Amino acid sequence: MDIKGITFTIVTQMFLLVFLLSASKPVKADDKTFVRKLCDQTLEPDVCLNCILSDTGRESSNVSNMTYSILFCMYSQTTYAHQCADHLYQNTAAVRLKTTYRVCRDTMLSASNTLWDGLTKMEVSDYKNAHVSARMAHLDLLRCVFAFRKYADVPVPAELLSYMVQTKRLFDAAQFMFLLLD
């Protein structure tokens, strides 16, 4: 192949690359309408919508991408909950509270790791096992709540509770999305 042929090929490939990159937009108006319609059918429409629209790096025109976004939001919230529980654990001396925070810290770490596994399953379209991961993480969330009743019989601290409530709401939204993927 001569230099003109190579140059023509490179220029053509560059033109095609620029064209393809300029043609794709993260979230179009139609995508927002689609997302809104699906999120409105979940138990937590606002949480669903805010989570999916915040993930601008992922196309939101199909249910699997939307479900991935929700699982990622769940993963983030459980990670924050784990960090919060760990901080509480490290800064308390009361034996019963320390036990409660340790159980909660450990279960939130388990939930976070399980959701990460779910995200990797979503990437390979293994929706059934990704759904199992989400349900297991939800059970870990409940174990943390039960630890407060079992060991200390005190309310869950506000910051930790807010992460846990957000995770539960995201789980409710994910449940609906998984039904659409089955």
The ranges assigned to domains in the chain are 3-181
When the pLDDT of each residue in the chain is averaged and rounded to a whole number, the result is 86
On the 0-12 / 13-18 / 19+ scale of CB atoms within 10 A, 131 is buried
| Closest C-alpha to 69, from 139, 160, 173, 142 | 173
Q: How confident is the model at residue 152 (pLDDT cuts 50, 70, 90)?
A: confident
Q: Regarding predicted confidence, which is higher, 153 or 122?
A: 122
Q: Which fold has domain 3-181?
A: Butyryl-CoA Dehydrogenase, subunit A; domain 3 (1.20.140)
- Block residue for tokens 């709540």: 145
What's the confidence (pLDDT) of residue 1? 52
Q: pLDDT, tens digit, for every residue of 115-141? A: 999 999 999 999 999 999 999 999 999
Contact call for residues 157 and 88 (beta carbons, < 8 A) = yes
- Tokens, residue 38: 């699906």
pLDDT digits (tens, 9 = 90+) for 9-31: 554 454 443 444 444 344 444 57
CB 99 within 8 A of CB 85: no
Q: Rounded distance, CA 134 to CA 72, Å?
A: 11
